[in-house]
Copies of this chain bind each other. A is one copy, B any other.
C-alpha cells in the first residue's frame, strides 16, 4: 500500500507506517519504529515550506521547529523529524509563510482547525476504546439568557444512563484551553474512553462530564469587555444541566476542572463558589500559578486554609515536566504546601503542554471524585 516507495525522498520508509490520525487512505505522515516522523506536502509552486509544531507558540512532542522541508524534483516537499514523544501533536505546514493543514492528517480545533498527529504510546490503553460498556457524548443545545445566544455543551453520559432513569449522577464540569473548543476534550482528550475504562475497572464512580465553550460575552460587549464565563456557569449552565439531566444537584456532587486557560477558570470559579463545588482540578493552569499572590488572589481565600481544607474535598493540581508552565506550577504546589492547603499534585513525565498530559491528568483526577 506504499504508493510512493520509489519517490526518492532520501528517507528509509520500510519500517514506517501511517499515523493513526491519518485520514482514510493517506500514506503520510508516517511514523518510524523509533518515532521519527516523515511528513510530506505537494507544493510545486511554493518557494519555502516548513513544518511548524504547535503554531510555534510552545514546543510540543514534535520538538520546537520550524523544520525546513526539502523540495523534490516532483514538487513534493518532505522532512523527517527527530524521534517524537508519544501523544497528540498539533502542527502546520508553513507554505511561503501561511499555515496550511496537512491533507493527510485529521484536524483538531485550536483556534482554527489545525493538523494533528497521534504518536502511539506503546503498551498504554487507558484512553483507547476497549471492550467495555461505553457511554455516549451528547451535543446539548440551550439558550443562554446571559449571552443572549444559543450555545452548546458536550455531555458525557455513562453507560446505561438512559436505561435506569431512577439513578442520578454527580457532574464534572471540564474545560478546554485558550482558543480551544469543547470538542477538544473528546477528540484530543478522549474523555469518553477514559471515563468508560475507569468505570469498567471500578476505579471511578459513574458521573456526567459537561464540556462547554469557555468564552462568553454579554450581547453588545466590545472586544475588550471582560469575559463572563464564570457568570454563565453559575447562572445559566449549571441550572440548565440540572434541569435537563438527572444530576445530584449539590456541591458534594459537583466538580470543576480544566486545562491551561480552563485550569485557571476552574480554580477561579471553584474557590469563588465553594457553595457550588467541592472538587477542583487545575490541569496545567500556568498563568494563575504564575500570578498567584496568597494575600490578594481569589479574595485572599488561600490565607484561610481551614476554609479551603474544610470545604474542598479535593484540590488537584497537575503539570508536565516538559511544559513551559512547569516553572510556575511546581512552585505553586510548593506554595500551597507552605500555606497548609491540602491538595494533590501530579507531574506527567516527559510530556509537553498537550493532550497526552491532560489525558493523564483526567485519568488521575477522576478516580478521586465523589468518593
Contact = CB atoms under 8 A, between A and B. Distances in A.
Interface of A: 1, 23-25, 41-48, 93, 95-101, 103, 106-107, 111-113, 129, 131, 134, 136-143, 150, 155, 161-163, 165, 186, 192, 215, 222-223, 246
| Oligomer copy total | 2
- Chain A residues touching B, majority SS: loop
A141 B134 contact: yes
A54 B264 CA distance: 40
22 contacts: A1-B222, A23-B112, A43-B96, A43-B98, A46-B98, A95-B100, A99-B103, A103-B111, A106-B113, A107-B112, A107-B113, A129-B141, A131-B143, A134-B140, A136-B139, A137-B139, A138-B138, A139-B139, A141-B192, A161-B162, A162-B246, A163-B165
A166 to B, nearest CB: 10
Given A47-B47, A139-B192, A101 B112 contact: yes
Contact of A99 (B47, B100, B155): B100
A111 B23 contact: yes
B100 A100 contact: yes
Given A138-B138, A139-B137, A97 B46 contact: yes
A50 to B, nearest CB: 11
A45 B48 contact: yes
A98 B48 CA distance: 12
A139 to B, nearest CB: 4
Nearest to A186: B139
Nearest to A24: B215
Nearest to A26: B112
A222 to B, nearest CB: 7
